[in-house]
Chain A
Amino acid sequence: MRILIIEDDADTADYLAKGLRESGHLVQLAANGKEGLFLALEEDFETMVVDRMLPGLDGLALIRSLRAAGKKTPALILSALGEVDDRVEGLRAGGDDYLVKPFAFAELLARLDALLRRSDSEITAQTALKVGDLEMDLLTRVVRRAGRQIDLQPREFRLLEYLLRHSGQVVTRTMLLENVWDYNFDPQTNVIDVHISRLRSKIDKDFNRPLLHTVRGAGYVIRAEA
């Protein structure tokens, strides 16, 4: 898939481009805001990574202009500031996700994947989610694996729902905190891991093939094949 990176710091830009190319994406670089806006308007990218502080035209103004021109390319904003109000400001300007530097590459990759999928899945309103023999009915809120009903706490249900909506994709711990718990904060301990292991004991324990996998150094993924 084609990704546009608008980043003035050459080191960061190279690092991103290299990593994304290794993951099989096509990458185009822009070193300043004007060039970035021009590229984003002229060509079709599936997603874009925009640094917030850019020479010429800053990241937020760029996204605002892009949205005003009717371009809906999902944008992930990179920022060195990391304040919550900045985050809100970034999302209000038309950004789709917000990541504070420095970040682990796996975090960025997971978020970009989520952005791409979101643009697909938002179109169809789903009533059921399915991975392998695990089924979730969003209307009756019943979860079954191999026909057997599984009782989940409300938060476990939301956790599983988020994982299923991003099935096959890596989701990071911070993504889970932001989307399942709806808080943007820094846990000192891996509290999320404990919630995952609880969920795992309910959906995977009595079955031969596990669905919920840990991705070392990144996060978790739910998928049918091992």
Chain B
Amino acid sequence: MQKPRLFHSSTFRLAVLYMALFSTSVLLLLGFIYWSTAGYMVRQTDATIEAEVVGLAERYDRTGLPGLTALISERMAREPGSPILYLLADRNFQPLLGNLDHWPKGNEPKTGWLSFRLEDDRHPAGKGHPARARLFNLEGGFLLLVGRDVNELEKIQQLIASTLVWGLAITVVLALLGGTMISRRFLRRIESINDTCRDIIYGDLSRRIPVRSADDDFDQLAGNLNNMLDQIEALMAGVRQVSDNIAHDLRTPLARLRNRLEALREQVTEEGPRELLDQAAAEADGLLATFKALLRIGQIESGSRRAGFTEIDLAALLQDVTELYEPLADEKGQHIELELAASEPIRGDRDLLFQAFANLLDNAIKYTPENGRIRIELTGTQVSVADNGPGIPEEARDKVFQRFYRLEQCRTTPGNGLGLSLVAAVSNLHNARIRLEDNEPGVRVILNFSEQNG
């Protein structure tokens, strides 16, 4: 039974999709929260600075420079530890008054907002607090800078940002878990449908998909599939009925015909008619054997025999087949080599596997010339039967598994063209792979059971 790998599973894909959607939504939400909290604080600071600048500018307009310096000095004196920064400078950026030692380096625009680092005695170079300020050009060429130490503000912003990042991370994890749980819930039902399908493929046609009482989409799907299976089963039962009828209606009278020929032969004393009757009985036997083989292949192909699979020791089975056929090969002066390297148990139908290997060995003995060599090898779960007979031409290798197909040069040898068809049917029943190779000379038939449980 093949389970889908994690990254290919729909569970995984659905969970990732769910996580992506959920995380994007949360990211947008958190962005908004950041904008409305941290952003609000920045805007508040800017508004305070703006108001201060406007106030100071008005004072300058009314009272000129002396009034302005007095106000600045008053403000600084009132709150010595205040984060508000003031600096009044002349047109050459030389400080006249303020709580900043010098004009911020590298910031010499005439007007607008600027960000810089405070670098003075309290704050050594590179470690100064961040600051934000507004520049204002006073009439008379003076420059006024009003700013604010935004260290605390930035710390709070960082705190908010890191909280939001953690929030996002937790969201991703929760979304992944939630997504997995929800998709599992749905996919478990698909999996149950799949399990049932597999059982049916393996021949248990009576299995049905469980239907819950919810009557949701899945139940409707299960219901539809079950109805379909009912119909298929009914049709198959019909087909089986027909083949049983063939068995009954054609084989039984054929067998009776054969037995009557036999009975008649016992009553006839003349040699000529006896021989004819023998030949007629032999023809009937051939027909019966063909019927039997055809019906048998049909039964094997229906897959119903999988239900009776048991653990099979291929090595023991091959020993038994070889032992059964060895005298036959001996009669033709052929030699059968049996090499059992390593054997792994497989699941299968003992009688059918024996039949398949017997057919292969029978073919090998039949088509290999006198003193030929036949080699049976078992490695793990792979069986090969090779001979040094005439072989099978490459273009015919696919056809030999078809029913009634016989090679031109084999038409004179007895056989019904069903032997290899039966081998192929048994191989399919066991999920084995069958292939023909050139044994140079001869043919090598390889049956590989390794994919059986994969």
**Neighbouring B residues of A147 by C-beta, 8 Å:** none
Q: Establish whether residues A188 and B359, one from each chain, have CB atoms under 8 Å apart when the complex forms.
A: yes
Q: Establish whether residues A217 and B262, one from each chain, have CB atoms under 8 Å apart when the complex forms.
A: yes
Say if the beta carbon of B259 comes within 8 Å of chain A: yes
**Chain B interface, DSSP helix/strand/loop, else mixed:** helix
Say if the beta carbon of A68 comes within 8 Å of chain B: no
In the assembled complex, how far is the CB of residue A214 from the closest CB belonging to chain B, in whole angstroms?
15
Q: Which of A140-187 contact B (CB under 8 A)?
A: 155, 181, 183-187
Which of A81, A186, A198 is within 8 Å of B327, CB to CB?
Answer: A198
A194 to B330, CA, bound (A): 10
Chain A: residues with Cβ within 8 Å of the partner, total of 30
Q: A15-B256, A181-B324, A198-B327 are contacts. A80–B248 as well, Cβ < 8 Å?
A: yes
A46 to B43, CA, bound (A): 111
Which residue of B has the minimal Cβ distance to A155? B323
Binds B, one of A54-62, A102-110, A125-133: A102-110
Q: Establish whether residues A84 and B358, one from each chain, have CB atoms under 8 Å apart when the complex forms.
A: no
A95 to B355, CA, bound (A): 25
Which of A12, A83, A102 is within 8 Å of B304, CB to CB?
Answer: A83
Say if the beta carbon of B244 comes within 8 Å of chain A: yes
A88 to B288, CA, bound (A): 24
Which of A101, A185, A186, A198 is within 8 Å of B251, CB to CB?
Answer: A101
Q: A102-B252, A194-B331 are contacts. A186–B307 as well, Cβ < 8 Å?
A: no
**Neighbouring B residues of A84 by C-beta, 8 Å:** 305, 308, 349, 351-352
Say if the beta carbon of A191 comes within 8 Å of chain B: yes
Q: A15-B256, A187-B362 are contacts. A83–B354 as well, Cβ < 8 Å?
A: no
Among B256, B350, B351, the one with the most A-chain Cβ atoms within 10 Å of its Cβ is B351
> What mask results when residues 63 to 103 of chain A are scored 1 for a CB within 8 Å of chain B, else 0?
00000000000000000111111001000000000000111
A155 to B326, CA, bound (A): 12
Which of A104, A155, A186, A198 is within 8 Å of B292, CB to CB?
Answer: A186
Q: A15-B256, A105-B259 are contacts. A186–B366 as well, Cβ < 8 Å?
A: no
Q: Which of B358-408 contact A (CB under 8 A)?
A: 358-359, 362, 365-366
Q: List 19 A-B contacts (CB under 8 A).
A: A80-B248, A80-B252, A82-B295, A84-B305, A84-B308, A85-B305, A88-B308, A101-B248, A102-B254, A102-B255, A103-B255, A184-B351, A185-B352, A187-B324, A189-B365, A191-B324, A191-B327, A191-B328, A217-B262
Interface residues of B (CB under 8 A from A): 244, 247-248, 251-252, 254-256, 258-259, 262, 281, 288-289, 292-293, 295-296, 299, 304-305, 307-308, 320, 323-325, 327-328, 331, 349-352, 354-355, 358-359, 362, 365-366, 415, 419
Q: Which 10 A-B pairs have the closest CB atoms?
A: A102-B255, A185-B355, A194-B327, A85-B308, A183-B354, A184-B351, A102-B251, A188-B362, A194-B328, A102-B252
Interface residues of A (CB under 8 A from B): 9, 11-12, 15, 80-85, 88, 101-105, 155, 181, 183-189, 191, 194-195, 198, 217
